[in-house]
Structure 1
Amino acid sequence: MREFLSDLRSDRGLLVFLGAICLLTLLGPFGSYDALPPARRFFFWTAALTAVALPMHIAIRALLDSPHLGRLPRLARVALGAMLAAVPGTGLVFFVRAVLWPESYMLDTIGTTWVQVSAIGFAIGCFHFLPVISVTEGPGQETAAEAPRHGATRFQARLDPATGTDIVSLTMQDHYVRVSTTTGTEMVLIRFADALSELGEIDGLRIHRSHWVAMRHVTTLGREDGKLKVQLDDGRSLPVSQTYAADLRKRLAARAASA
């Protein structure tokens, strides 16, 4: 849910969401143009898209990030995610219909509604996740990661020389990864999972769904306002989730023992 809200708050996520609502309101597909006046049509599509947005986002992102579907084209993953999410999405749409457009509420249209929800989810998913697809799978594209500079990992090779390569932390932000180094920050258009796989032998640890840190820049682990956080030597602190806390404690204990 947190990741979904973060995507929605991003400029691109908000643009996609609002643009889809406006487009569907103006076009009035599936009979809504003739059946509903403009204001009611706007509220209907706002409610319908809001209802299906969360399951669509969760399903499509999960399939795009799944290591078990590496051989399946990402476009196919978006389509599969849209079809799976359309199952609960159809139920939510029927609820919205019963409230805002009861004239269209007919149980014998479940199959048609599922196809419609799948199609709309696929179209929006393609547009919303297009940067992820184009960066990782563009045919014939060569990135800096394919020809790393001497002494640099594949991910470090992506960074601007002015940013430097002494990475302190990585933070997932929408479809980008915010890289913090000892000399600056940079936004890299790449999936978080792909960025972590390209770090090579850099000694670091994922501490949260959205954060990775280089161990050499970790100073202490403690609680701030009741929340577990790691302190970095650049003065920042990042949250640590319980999933990764045990590994971080072991690494810090091992470092202290060898000091």
Structure 2
Amino acid sequence: MPAARSLRTGPVARLAGKRGFAKRAPGFAKRALPRAPVPGFPLLWIACLAAAALMVVTGGFGTGALPLGTRIAFWLLLMGWNALKWQALFAWGVRKPGDWPRVSLFGTIPLNLPLPFEIWLCGRAVGVEMQAVPVEVWLGAAAISTGIFAVCWAVAWLMLRRMRPIRADTGLLARARVPAGDLAAIEAEDHYCRIHRRDGGSALIHYRFGDALEEVAGLDGLQVHRGAWAAADAVEGAERDGRKWRLLLAGGGSVPVSATYAAAARARGWLRATR
């Protein structure tokens, strides 16, 4: 006689399976999807696609004689590769809207210098031998980059305009009587926010953490936990807290770093153990 099996079948088992999936799905989505958008995405890719379309139509860099299919493949390949380069730079260097002009200018020369070689390489990839004149290529790249950056900078400017300024009269810092220059961190505690000062003191104010984040969006800092924000120049080091990290602040305080925001904190050079 075969051994009895505890497998459930039929509608009850399917319902239990659906409930288990429903419970697991949000956790998976939290781990798989980043909370913070990648700087420049998708605007950069849309701008590069538009530039590729313009080059296909106008036959830029002498590609007008190529068959249409080959021309499209060449420009999609070239602009896609350059979009990837710039996306990596923006992801590395852009932390707030005011970083866009500096990071864009910083990358203009090193990222555009290899373009003549990239044009030759992309030509070979689509079966065409292309010889690029470096000066012409660099001038054309400068024109294209200027157009793309103009769009990115315009969006950054609009983002800054939409940001809620630090309200000196009614905002969180005013209620806590903490000048922006003395702010070390903000930490959520239930329906309250604890404001850490750089002298080691703190104040607990009844305030929404989301509103506090909007008010300090113009300051140089970073959200490092779903309930913690740290000012950049108040971070003095980091320490391990089991498998997680805590940032050490000026004045002796500390705030936790969650796995969701660890990569961003590491990119700022904050996650280097000091004790």
TM-score (norm 1): 0.50
Q: Aligned to 2:241, what secondary structure does the other structure show? A: strand
Structure 1's unaligned 5+ residue stretches are 1-5, 169-180, 208-214, 251-259
Residue 144 (structure 1) aligns with:
165
Larger Rg: 2
Q: Aligned to 2:174, what secondary structure does the other structure show? A: coil
Question: In the superposition, relative to structure 1, how do residues 50 and 24 fare at CA in structure 2: closer, same or farther (>3 Å)?
Answer: closer
* Aligned partner (choices 97, 101, 119) of residue 143 of structure 2: 119
Tell me the CA shift for residue 185 of structure 1. 3.5
Instruction: Give the whole-Å Cα distance in 2 for the aligned partners of 1:62 and 1:26.
Output: 28
Q: Percent identity?
A: 12
Q: How does 1:1-259 map to 2 (within 5 A)?
A: 10=38, 13-27=41-55, 28-29=57-58, 30=60, 31-33=62-64, 35-37=66-68, 39-57=69-87, 75=101, 78-79=104-105, 81-100=107-126, 102-103=128-129, 105-107=130-132, 109-133=133-157, 144-145=165-166, 147=168, 149-150=174-175, 151-154=177-180, 165-166=193-194, 183-185=208-210, 188=214, 194-195=220-221, 221-223=241-243, 229=245, 237-238=259-260, 239=262, 241=266, 244-247=271-274, 250=275
Contact (CA 8 Å) 2:77, 2:122: kept in 1 or not? yes
Tell me the CA shift for residue 165 of structure 1. 4.4
Structure 2's unaligned 5+ residue stretches are 1-33, 197-205, 223-228, 248-253
Instruction: Give the whole-Å Cα distance in 2 for the aligned partners of 1:99 and 1:230.
Output: 48
Q: Aligned to 1:42, what secondary structure does the other structure show? A: helix
Tell me the CA shift for residue 51 of structure 1. 2.0
Contact (CA 8 Å) 1:48, 1:93: kept in 2 or not? yes
Tell me the CA shift for residue 145 of structure 1. 3.3
Instruction: Give the whole-Å Cα distance in 1 for the aligned partners of 2:73 and 2:124.
Output: 13
What count of residue pairs does the alignment treat as equivalent? 198
Instruction: Give the whole-Å Cα distance in 1 for the aligned partners of 2:246 and 2:76.
Output: 40
Contact (CA 8 Å) 1:55, 1:89: kept in 2 or not? no
Instruction: Give the whole-Å Cα distance in 2 for the aligned partners of 1:201 and 1:106.
Output: 47
